[in-house]
C-alpha cells in the first residue's frame, strides 16, 4: 500500500480534528454519521461537510450508506496520516523515504527523525489478505459482526513494540525500538541482509548453533518467537544474527507453547538443509520443566500489552491462517472503550475548550413524527440521524 505523506503539509488542524473524530466515533459505529463527527470534533456542523469532502478527495476516509443513514469510515491511508502526524509532533519522524519491505501484514519504509538519522517505520496492516477471503464468501461474517482490522493492527504494533523493548533491554539481538503510535512502530535501521537472501555460508554450523541457542535463550526468558524463520532473521557482515518481527511471540506458559517452539526449531533445520545442505542431529526440544531465568512474558504484560489483547490477536491470527474455527466478533465491546486509543490530544491540541463533550453513544429512544404520508413515518434520534420506514398495517 502506497504511503504518500505529502498531504500532511497542506492539511489543516480542522481536517485532522475531523479525521480523529471519525477514528473515535468508530469505537461504536461501523460508519460514523456527520452529526456525531461535528460533535466529537467541536466544529460547526456547517463546515463539517467541506472538511469531509476534502478528506474523501485525499482518500483518507470513505463514504458508505447503511439502511438508516450515510456515514463515513476511516481507511488505512487516513490511519497512516494520524500516526505520522503524532510522530511528527514527537520528532520521531520528520521525512519519509523509500519502501524497503512489504508483507501480507505490514509495509516497511525508511524514514528520518529530527536528528536526520535514518530509521525504519513499520506499518502493520492486518486483514489485507483476509479481506480477499471475505469477498469470496460474503456470508462469513454475520450482519452484526465487524472485524476492526485497524484496531487489531494497533494491537499488533503495540505487542511488537512491547516485546522489542523488553528484549532489547535484556541484551537480545533485536533492533533498537524508538517509538510507537497506533499501528506503526519506529525502530533502528540495521545494516544487515535477510537470511533468505544468503546463498552461501563459510560456517553454516556456527550460525545454526547461534540460532538454536537463541531459541533456547528466549525460552529460558519465558518467550517463544512463534515465527522464527529465514524471513525474520537478519545477518550482519560479521554473521551476527538479528531477530525481527514479534507479533506472533507467545509465552512459554501458552497452551500451544510446545507446538510453537518445535515449529521454530523445524523451520531453521529445514532451511539449513535445503539452502546450505547442512543437517545436524543436535537440536533443542521443548520441555515443560524448562529452567527459566526470567519471566519476560510477565514483564511484557505489565508494560500494557495484556492477556486480553493477546487472546484477541491470536483469534485474528487463526482467521488469517484459515483455522476453520467458528468466527467470533473481534471488535471489542462497548464496555471496553477505555482500552481503545482516542489520541484526543491530536484533536484538541490547539483547542482551549475545557470541556470534551460526551462519548457519542447512540440513544435507543427516538421521537417519531408523522410527515403527512399515510404509508411512511420519519424518526429522528438525538444524533440527528433520520430513518424513513414504512408504517405497519
> Measured over all CA atoms, what is the biggest interatomic distance in the chain, rounded to whole angstroms?
87
Q: What's the grid cell of residue 37?
A: 463527527
Among 139, 202, 227, 370, the one annotated catalytic: 227
User: CA 299, 104, 99, 241: dihedral to nearest 10 degrees?
Assistant: 50
d(C-alpha 167, C-alpha 140), whole Å: 38
DSSP letters along 27-73, please? TT-SSEEHHHHHHHHT--HHHHHHHHHHHHHTTSEEEEE-SS-EEEE
d(C-alpha 129, C-alpha 89), whole Å: 32
Q: 17: Cβ–Cβ under 8 A, 6 or more apart, which residues?
A: 41, 42, 43, 347, 348
d(C-alpha 140, C-alpha 372), whole Å: 42
Confirm whether 227 is a catalytic residue: yes
DSSP one-letter code for 363: P
| DSSP E strands, 128-247 | 177-181, 184-188, 193-194, 223-224, 233-235, 241-243
Just list the catalytic residues.
Answer: 227
Amino acid at each position: 500500500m502506497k504511503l504518500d505523506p505529502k498531504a500532511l503539509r497542506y492539511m489543516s488542524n480542522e481536517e485532522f480534528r475531523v479525521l480523529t473524530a471519525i477514528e473515535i466515533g468508530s469505537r461504536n459505529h461501523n460508519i460514523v454519521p456527520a452529526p456525531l463527527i461535528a460533535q466529537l470534533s467541536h466544529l460547526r456542523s456547517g463546515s463539517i461537510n467541506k472538511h469531509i469532502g476534502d478528506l474523501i478527495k485525499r482518500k483518507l476516509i470513505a463514504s458508505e450508506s447503511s439502511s438508516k443513514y450515510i456515514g463515513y469510515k476511516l481507511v488505512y491511508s487516513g490511519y497512516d496520516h494520524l500516526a505520522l502526524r503524532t510522530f511528527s509532533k514527537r520528532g520521531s519522524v520528520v521525512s519519509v523515504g523509500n519502501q524497503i519491505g512489504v508483507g501480507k501484514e505490514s509495509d516497511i519504509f525508511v524514514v528520518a527523525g529530527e536528528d536526520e538519522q535514518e530509521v525504519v517505520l513499520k506499518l502493520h496492516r492486518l486483514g489485507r489478505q483476509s479481506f480477499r477471503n471475505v469477498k469470496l464468501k460474503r456470508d462469513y461474517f454475520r450482519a452484526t459482526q465487524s472485524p476492526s482490522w485497524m484496531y487489531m493492527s494497533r494491537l499488533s504494533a503495540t505487542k511488537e513494540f512491547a516485546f522489542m523493548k523488553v528484549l532489547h533491554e535484556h541484551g537480545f539481538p533485536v533492533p533498537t525500538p524508538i517509538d510507537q503510535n497506533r499501528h506503526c512502530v519506529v525502530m533502528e535501521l540495521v545494516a544487515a541482509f535477510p537470511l533468505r537472501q544468503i546463498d552461501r555460508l563459510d560456517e553454516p554450523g556456527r550460525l545454526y548453533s547461534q540460532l538454536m541457542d537463541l531459541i533456547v535463550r528466549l525460552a529460558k526468558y519465558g518467550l517463544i518467537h512463534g515465527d522464527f524463520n529465514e524471513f525474520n532473521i537478519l545477518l550482519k557482515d560479521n554473521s551476527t544474527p538479528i531477530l525481527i518481527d514479534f507479533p506472533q511471540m507467545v509465552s512459554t506458559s501458552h497452551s500451544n507453547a510446545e507446538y510453537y517452539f518445535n515449529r521454530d526449531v523445524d523451520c531453521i533445520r529445514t532451511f539449513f538443509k535445503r539452502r546450505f545442505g547442512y543437517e545436524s542431529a543436535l537440536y533443542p526440544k521443548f520441555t515443560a520443566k524448562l529452567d527459566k531465568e526470567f519471566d519476560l512474558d510477565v514483564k511484557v504484560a505489565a508494560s500494557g500489552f495484556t492477556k486480553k489483547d493477546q487472546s484477541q490477536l491470536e483469534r485474528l491470527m487463526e482467521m488469517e491462517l484459515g483455522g476453520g474455527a467458528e468466527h467470533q466478533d473481534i471488535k471489542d465491546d462497548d464496555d471496553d472503550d477505555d482500552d481503545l486509543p482516542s489520541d484526543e490530544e491530536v484533536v484538541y491540541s490547539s483547542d482551549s475548550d475545557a470541556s470534551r463533550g460526551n462519548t457519542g453513544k447512540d440513544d435507543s429512544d427516538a421521537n417519531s413524527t408523522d410527515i403527512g404520508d399515510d404509508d411512511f413515518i420519519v424518526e429522528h434520534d438525538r444524533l440527528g440521524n433520520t430513518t424513513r420506514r414504512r408504517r405497519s398495517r
